[in-house]
Each structure stands twice: as C-alpha cells, then as structure tokens.
Amino acid sequence: MDVPEEIVALARRARRVTVLTGAGMSAESGVATFRDAQTGLWARFDPAQLATADAFRRDPALVFGWYAWRYAQARSVAPNAGHRALADWARIAEVRIVTQNVDDLHERAGSTVLAHLHGSLAAFRCFACDRPYAGPVPDAAGADGRVEPPRCAACGGPVRPGVVWFGEALPARAFADGVQACRDADLVLVVGTSGLVYPAAGLPEVAAAEGVPTVELNPEPTPLSRKVDHTWRTTAAVGLPALVAALAR
C-alpha cells in the first residue's frame, strides 16, 4: 500500500520514535476489546462489575475467573504484522512502545515495551500485600465462570491480575515514562486508540506541546484526529508493515 509521503519523511528523519498503542493494535490478532469480551458466559455482566477492587472483595472467584479467561484468550492468539513491524523498526531506530493494552503481544513479537499504562494480564500480584506472583495460573473459567484465585506464598492473600481496575490510578512509573517518551521523541505515532480513555489519551497533546510531530494511524476518526499533525486511515497490521518497508527503500 502507498504510505503518505509526509509520514515517510517524518519517520525517516526520526531517531527516537514513541508509539502509543491501544486496542486496535491487538484487534487484528483476534484479541477482543474490553467491552467486546463481554460475550457468551459473561454477557450478563457489565465490565464495571468485574473490574473493580470492590467486585474482587465481594466475589474473588468470579472476578478472577473472568481475568483467567481473558488471559487464556490473549495467550491463544499471535502477534500480527503490525506488532512484528514495530520490532523490525527498532533495529534501525529507537522505538519506545507505550501501550494501553494488557496483553503481551508486543513482547512476543520481539519488542521491548517501555510502559504498560493499564497494567498486564500476565503480571499477577497479591491483593493484600502487593507482592508479585509467579506461580501457576489456574485454568480459564469453567461453565459457571468461577475460578478460585491462587494464594500469595508470603501472606496467604488472594492473587489478583496486574491490571488497572476502575477507581485505581495508573502505575506512576509507567505513566511518567510515557510522558517523558512523548516529550523527547522525534516522532509520536498513535496506533489503534480510541482517544477516549484518560489520562492516556492526553499523551499526544504532551508531545504536541513540545513541538513533536504526531501521526494517528486508525481506520476511523477519533477525538484525537483533529489534534494530531497527520492522520492515516489504515490499520496497524496493514499500515505499520508498509511504513517500515518504505523506510528500508
């Protein structure tokens, strides 16, 4: 596919590239978005019923069951061509990935992720003492959706997924790293994000305030579209490989 010349020129000049990725980045791998995951067994639940600390306190087996199911679903799919293209790009430039996604598809494609703004499905930790948990994860939810969470070896508390729940702050270090990566980049690409979830959605504006060129890759217009320097109506798995191939010519 043809890549807009102005975007190729910006990418070719950039030595430090920050890529902000959202749900659209992983959708082409078959990862359901947060709300799209509310199907079948889980259709009767609102996401807010399954993504809060209070919900976990009320029914840890139900909440852990949903996240065990989501974890298994994310592990069952493979990185797409967009993920692989970012890993390839990192061989010729400094590419820093700041993602809102809780899967590990970037890492499995060969990239190093600077910041998981909303945590990671794979980063389990103790709900009581916050110690990381590296033990086995129970199988995904059965017929009733319930999975008893494992217990912390240090304090015996229930283990929770390492994602950011409603009402919780973003990981301070991850967000600070994301802000800095937008401030000192030569180019910021925003790939597959809705532009609706703050404070992550404010990062392109951080870049713009520093005079850093910003480019949006998204097949549909978003609230960010009018705030960035360039928009490209394409998907991650189509656009990113084409862009990286153009840089090699």
DSSP annotation of 172: H
Q: 111-145 pLDDT, tens per residue?
A: 999 999 999 998 999 999 999 999 998 877 665 78
Indicate the SS3 state at residue 163: strand
Domain ranges of the chain: 1-31+78-118+167-249, 35-76+121-163
CB 236 within 8 A of CB 211: no
Q: With 60 as the cut, is the pLDDT of residue 39 above it?
A: no
Tell the CATH topology of 35-76+121-163.
SIR2/SIRT2 'Small Domain' (3.30.1600)
3 state SS for 42-92: HCCCCHHHHCCHHHHHHCHHHHHHHHHHHHHHHHCCCCCHHHHHHHHHCCC
| Amino acid residing at 46 | D
Cα three-residue angle 225-197-19, rounded to 5 degrees: 60
Determine the pLDDT at residue 43. Answer: 67
What's the pTM value of the predicted model, to 2 decimals?
0.92
Sign of the CA dihedral running 40, 45, 50, 55: negative
In tens, the pLDDT along 177-207 reads 999 999 999 999 999 998 888 899 899 999 9
> Does the structural domain 1-31+78-118+167-249 have CATH classification 3.30.160.620?
no
Do 1-31+78-118+167-249 and 35-76+121-163 share a fold? no
Give residue 195's pLDDT. 85
Give the gyration radius of the chain's Cα atoms: 19
List the catalytic residues. 118
